[in-house]
């Protein structure tokens, strides 16, 4: 579920929302580092600055979710989205996944505005990614049949590790992590589907999981090992970023 067996083209076709978000990450990062652009303008205009938000620049409640402070920051956050976003996009559908991602990021940024000082400045998609973790937890609690026991254990373990590391690592927006997680959980607790929608969604998800398992079974042990290493590195890097 959290290892990728698709080709690059298949990934874009299967998970367009995740692909577009990552593309936005990379484009905005390049615009902040390329010398022939007024790179300072993008960072200063789109980053989250509580004082400027209070003065009416409300777009800063959304745009920091797509901005990053350096190459390692954008790399590891994007890797985390590649690892944990596709399954949820497939389960929820493109529109609902995008709503969950953006609302989780918004909730994290609003909480940062309300609880951090006016001088506080922040960038990064970690609040929205924690929202995905929160949604997974809601699935585990309220819709256990959507995930296998093994995948549920992986998610819960990662959430516990992520929360612990949130308080141990320096330069972490603790407020965004906690409220992104809470926001995603609350969104996941909402009964989105009626019985027919739920049955259709479960059937579609079951077929998809079955096809992915067949694809994964065809992978060589070396490729599985490589993906395991990538997941571990991405998690460590993600938790080390602001």
Q: Is 80 a catalytic residue?
A: no
Catalytic residue among 126, 148, 201, 210: 126
Q: Is 25 a catalytic residue?
A: no
> CA 16 to CA 97: how far, in whole Å?
11
> CA 180 to CA 27: how far, in whole Å?
24
Task: Count the Cβ atoms, other than its own, within 10 Å of residue 145.
Answer: 9
Determine phi and psi for 48, rounding to 5 degrees.
-85, 115
Convert the chain into a string of H (helix), E (strand) and C (coil): CCCCCCCHHHHHHHCHHHHHHHHHHHHHHHHHHCCCCCHHHHHHHHCEEHHHHHCCCHHHHCHHHHCCCCHHHHHHHHHHHHHHHHHHHHHHCHHHHHHHHHHHHHHHHHHHHHHCCCCCEECCCHHHHHHHHHHHHHHHHHCHHHCCHHHHHHHHHHHHHHHHHHHHCCCCCHHHHHHHHHHHHHHHHCCCCCHHHHHHHHHHHHHHHHHHHHHHHCCCHHHHHHHHHHHHHHHHHHHCCC
Catalytic residue among 177, 210, 211, 220: 177
> CA 42 to CA 28: how far, in whole Å?
8
The residues that are catalytic are: 126, 177
């Amino acid at each position: 579920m959290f290892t990728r067996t698709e080709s690059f083209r298949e990934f874009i076709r299967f998970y367009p929302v995740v692909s577009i978000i990552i593309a936005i990450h990379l484009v905005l990062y390049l615009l902040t580092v390329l010398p022939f652009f007024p790179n300072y303008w993008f960072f200063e205009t789109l980053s989250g600055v509580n004082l400027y938000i209070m003065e009416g620049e409300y777009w800063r409640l959304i745009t920091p979710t797509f901005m990053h402070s350096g190459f390692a920051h954008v790399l590891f956050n994007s890797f985390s989205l590649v690892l944990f976003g596709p399954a949820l996009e497939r389960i929820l559908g493109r529109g609902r996944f995008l709503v969950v991602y953006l609302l989780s990021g918004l909730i994290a940024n609003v909480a940062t505005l309300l609880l951090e000082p006016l001088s506080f400045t922040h960038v990064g998609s970690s609040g929205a990614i924690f929202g995905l973790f929160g949604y997974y937890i809601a699935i585990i609690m309220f819709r256990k049949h959507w995930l296998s026991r093994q995948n549920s254990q992986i998610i819960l373990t990662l959430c516990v590790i992520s929360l612990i590391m949130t308080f141990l690592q320096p330069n972490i927006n603790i407020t965004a992590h906690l409220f992104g997680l809470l926001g995603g959980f609350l969104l996941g607790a909402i009964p989105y589907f009626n019985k027919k929608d739920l049955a259709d969604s479960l059937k579609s998800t079951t077929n998809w999981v079955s096809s992915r398992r067949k694809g994964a079974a065809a992978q060589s042990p070396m490729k599985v090992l490589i993906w395991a290493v990538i997941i571990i590195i991405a998690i460590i890097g993600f938790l080390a970023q602001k």
